[in-house]
Amino acid sequence: MTAGSTEARRTSAEWLELLAAGAGEATADAVAAALAGIQAPDPLSARLAFGKLNRPLEASALPADGTAEFAALLGPGYLQADVLGRVTFVVGLAERFAPLEFADVVTTLYRTGSDREQVGILRAFPCVPAPRDLVPLAREASRTNDVTVFSALACESAFPAEHLPDAAFEQLVLKALFIGVSLERILRLETRVTPELKRMVTDFARERGAAGRPVPADVPRLLELPPQSPRNPT
């Protein structure tokens, strides 16, 4: 099971069970109470409930025992109680709002959230029933200069390769090169290497070389990959 893949999808009740096992009953109870306080379709109640999680959710590492399933669901770099808790909350939101309303609510939570809140939101993208509705927010998030937040969207997650249109995926890869995120962390990159992406990366390497700056080692590896046909141009 690949981290962030559709095979990893769970209901909010199942996520609450995982949260209780990994971070404790008190943490799971706090998230369950926050979800119970949402008055859908009122987005304000979702914002208030999300904000109330800051105190009970701490960025503490999960216990070493029994983290294999969490690693498969979220990726090994996200085994923290606050990430698991906020993913659980976002999955619960998806069950309470219609898809487009859900996307609007999550966009507001992202734009008003702290970096840790943004990480939890982005890590939930592959875990919701209609992830494609989050593509506009993913485009926005991919422009961040915060490496930690960018990585939560781009790395060890099946979401970008499965759902981003070609232009957005190409920009995400180029952004990774600009901010020093290894392309090896972008899952299924080899399935999305279009001729346009190879052209963009070639131009990037030439500009770096002309400026006397080092070219990331990822560049020649990407350029050696066989080009794939564009499949999602919009």
Nearest to 47 by CA among 107, 116, 115: 107
**Are 82 and 59 a contacting pair, CB within 8 Å?**
yes
How many of the other CB atoms lie within 10 Å of CB of 26? 9
| Per-residue model confidence as pLDDT tens digits over 84-117 | 999 999 999 999 999 999 999 999 999 999 999 9
| d(C-alpha 166, C-alpha 192), whole Å | 8
How many of the other CB atoms lie within 10 Å of CB of 35? 21
- State the Cα angle at 130 between 72 and 27, rounded to 5°: 50
Going by C-beta distance under 8 Å and a sequence separation of 6 or more, which residues neighbour residue 72?
Answer: 1, 2, 3, 8
| d(C-alpha 105, C-alpha 86), whole Å | 14
- State the Cα angle at 42 between 59 and 120, rounded to 5°: 20
At 111 the pLDDT is 97
Q: Is the pLDDT of residue 66 over 70?
A: no
152: enclosing H helix or E strand: helix 147-154
Phi, psi (deg, nearest 5) at residue 61 = -70, 145
| d(C-alpha 46, C-alpha 170), whole Å | 33
At 227 the pLDDT is 93
| Per-residue model confidence as pLDDT tens digits over 131-162 | 999 999 999 999 999 999 999 999 999 999 99
At 8 the pLDDT is 60
